[in-house]
């Protein structure tokens, strides 16, 4: 195995790091403007939206992908973050879709600041926790019902 010389450095730009994160993360990552329109989404979220290229989401909102109920809640949350600057951390959300089954996600939503410290939008990361929620529901059910008969 070749040794690295002392003067060799691991050099990578911030844009390369962001690109790697956006390309390879299995969590949904998104950036939105002040009107809650997508300005950037990652590959995983594009796949969940059923679009081939993340650029297809630019300018769209949650209302284009989710049910009105979920999109309204997401919009209200984001507008509150923009107004107050207070992030929403570890929020469990039920995502209801137009033509897909519901999913549960654990979400972090943060204000997005420009270089002058002004809020210019929001960004967030959502992790699918549907399997975890189903397991919790099963445990809850079994704690009150007989495992063989299903009786209370």
Q: What confidence score (pLDDT) does residue 150 get? A: 67
Query: DSSP 3-state assignment of 109?
Result: strand
- pLDDT at residue 148 in the model: 67
Give the strands of the sheet with 119-128, arranged side by side.
38-41, 28-33, 119-128, 103-113, 88-95
pLDDT tens-digit series, residues 14-54: 899 999 999 999 999 999 999 999 999 999 999 999 999 99
Distance, in Å, from the CA atom of 125 to the CA atom of 145, rounded to the nearest integer, reads 36
How far apart, in whole angstroms, are the C-alpha atoms of residue 136 and residue 141? 9
Those residues of the chain that have pLDDT short of 70 are 1-10, 147-151
Residues present in the chain in total: 152
| pLDDT the model gives residue 143 | 83
Q: What is the per-residue pLDDT for 49?
A: 96
**CA gap 128, 123 in Å, rounded:** 17
pLDDT score of 146: 73
Going along the chain from its start, the domains and CATH numbers come out as: 14-144 (3.30.450.20)
- Structure confidence at residue 38 (pLDDT): 98
Count CA atoms within 13 Å of residue 142 on its CB side: 8
């Amino acid at each position: 195995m070749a040794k690295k010389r002392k003067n060799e450095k691991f050099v990578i730009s911030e844009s390369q790091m962001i690109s790697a994160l956006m390309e390879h993360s299995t969590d949904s990552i998104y950036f939105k403007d002040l009107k809650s329109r997508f300005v950037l989404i990652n590959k995983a979220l594009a796949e969940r939206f059923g679009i081939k290229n993340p650029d297809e989401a630019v300018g769209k909102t949650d209302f284009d992908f989710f049910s009105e109920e979920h999109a309204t809640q997401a919009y209200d949350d984001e507008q509150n973050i923009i107004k107050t600057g207070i992030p929403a951390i570890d929020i469990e959300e039920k995502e209801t879709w137009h033509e897909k089954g519901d999913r549960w996600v654990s979400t972090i939503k943060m204000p997005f600041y420009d270089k002058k410290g002004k809020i210019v939008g929001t960004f967030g990361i959502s992790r699918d926790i549907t399997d975890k929620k189903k397991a919790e529901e099963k445990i809850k059910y079994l704690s009150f019902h007989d495992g063989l008969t299903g009786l209370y």
